[in-house]
Structure 1
Amino acid sequence: MGSEVSTGAGRTGRGRIERRQAILDAAFTVFARRGYAQTCVQEIAREAGVAKPTVYNHLHDKESLFREAVEAAADRIAARALTVLDELRPSPAGADPRPALTTAARGLLSALTCEEASAVRQLAASPPARFPDLAAGVRERTALRVRAALADRLARLALAGRLRPCDPDQAAEHLLSLLTGPLDYRPDADPGPLAQAAVDVFVRAYAP
């Protein structure tokens, strides 16, 4: 009997979590499409396939919807980037680190420059008066987490002799800048050659 009650409660709990996530996903979609000022809660409810009161049952107001939707999207972007970096491990002794670094660089570019990531950056910066700390929070959830994870991987490569001894945080910043900097001038650049060029320059600077 206790088991049945627990299972039912679990289903109810999961259903509520899934519904909340669907609302946040819909909110992000609508905010990205229309911007904060032009978005209404009714449109978010319609996008999520729920009644407007259901939205308010999960998130109290439009401001909460916006903040949590953007933060949830930022967490998804970071998770994809961190998954890429999990695969970056020291190569066998004497092996060229370029192939592994290039694969990681392509994955990072894909995670950090996708349509969702671009929308997050735009939304986080668009209403500074109403959300003065949102941009900093998004940076903490994405760029700083990715830099820390990349620094850890580069430190491991240096310990294995694949890179020269270095400040791993600075090395991570250099590699990320080499990857994303050219996009300011060539936003439609092919990510493959971009990643390869970034890694070539990075390895020249950090070769043992």
Structure 2
Amino acid sequence: MAAPARGRIDKRQQILEAAFAVFARRGYAQTCVQEIADAAGVAKPTVYNHLTDKGTLFREALLAAADAVGAETLAAVEPLRDSGGDPRPAFTDSAYRLLQACSSERGRSLHRLAYAQADEFADLAAEVQQRTAIRLREALADRLARLALAGRLRPCAPETAAEQYLALLTGPLETRSRLGARKIPAAELRAIADAATDTFLRAYAPD
């Protein structure tokens, strides 16, 4: 009995991934359900069987993408678990991985789509924010608190420190986005990660 349920879950995921890709390419208004069905390789009635209408497709596709991006960013802060010694390599590694997740095609499309339809889907942008940025900030604050207790950082308000560190990382990305930059080269992401880490540790390294 487990196989049919597993197959239904996989089919739903297949449809949601195809829907997100089409919405990202075409925008909400220009996308039709038949395009999503074609991209998913299923019949149009199959799409409606899993997700009742275009609005539900949009909402669920964005939330699934938010969960995926959120999982990537949470994994990125794992290097900050205190392993002793100089925390700089762990911060630099974590920063680079966070930048990769935030500047990926999926990350950029998620942010753009959520806010472009904020009037029609009033609570969707807030839910995407909760599953990505807010969850990340909470996890990062936890890691920073542990590092401070271990003496790797000076005593601080971890939530404030987390906000400041994330601002050092996301600020340059937002600037490049406003300037029309598309995919940011890896070397540039490394430079942003290094600069953010250096600035943060100058402020929060123990005396």
- TM-score in same-fold range (> 0.5): yes
Which consecutive residues of structure 1, in runs of 5 or more, have no partner in the other structure?
1-8
The aligned amino acid for 2:167 is S
- Tell which deviates more after alignment, 124-133 or 195-204: 124-133
Alignment of 1:63-142 (within 5 A): 63-92=55-84, 95-142=85-132
Count of aligned residue pairs for this structure pair = 198
Shift of 1:72: 0.3
Give the structure 1 partner of residue 6 of structure 2: 14
Give the structure 1 partner of residue 193 of structure 2: 195
User: How far apart, in 2, do the equivalents of 1:29 and 1:69 lie?
Assistant: 9
Q: Is the contact between residue 165 and residue 200 of structure 2 (CA under 8 Å) also seen in structure 1?
A: yes
Q: Which has the larger radius of gyration?
A: 1
User: How far apart, in 2, do the equivalents of 1:128 and 1:85 lie?
Assistant: 29
Q: Percent identity?
A: 60
The aligned amino acid for 1:176 is L
Which consecutive residues of structure 2, in runs of 5 or more, have no partner in the other structure?
178-183
User: How far apart, in 1, do the equivalents of 2:8 and 2:83 lie?
Assistant: 45
Shift of 1:129: 2.1
Q: Is the contact between residue 79 and residue 91 of structure 2 (CA under 8 Å) also seen in structure 1?
A: no
User: How far apart, in 2, do the equivalents of 1:43 and 1:126 lie?
Assistant: 20
Give the structure 2 partner of residue 6 of structure 1: none
User: How far apart, in 2, do the equivalents of 1:59 and 1:149 lie?
Assistant: 32
Calculate the TM-score normalised by the size of structure 1: 0.92
User: How far apart, in 2, do the equivalents of 1:128 and 1:170 lie?
Assistant: 28
Q: Is the contact between residue 91 and residue 162 of structure 1 (CA under 8 Å) also seen in structure 2?
A: no
Q: Does 1:143 align with 2:133?
A: yes
Shift of 1:49: 0.3
Q: Of 139, 151, 167, which aligns to 1:177?
A: 167
Say which SS state the counterpart of residue 185 (structure 1) adopts. helix
User: How far apart, in 1, do the equivalents of 2:174 and 2:102 lie?
Assistant: 13
Q: Of 29, 36, 43, which aligns to 2:28?
A: 36
Shift of 1:31: 0.3
Backbone CA RMSD of aligned residues: 1.1
The aligned amino acid for 1:192 is R
Q: Deviations over 1:147-166 (max 9, x none)?
A: 00111111111011010011
The aligned amino acid for 1:200 is D
- Tell which deviates more after alignment, 79-88 or 159-168: 79-88
Q: Does 1:165 align with 2:155?
A: yes
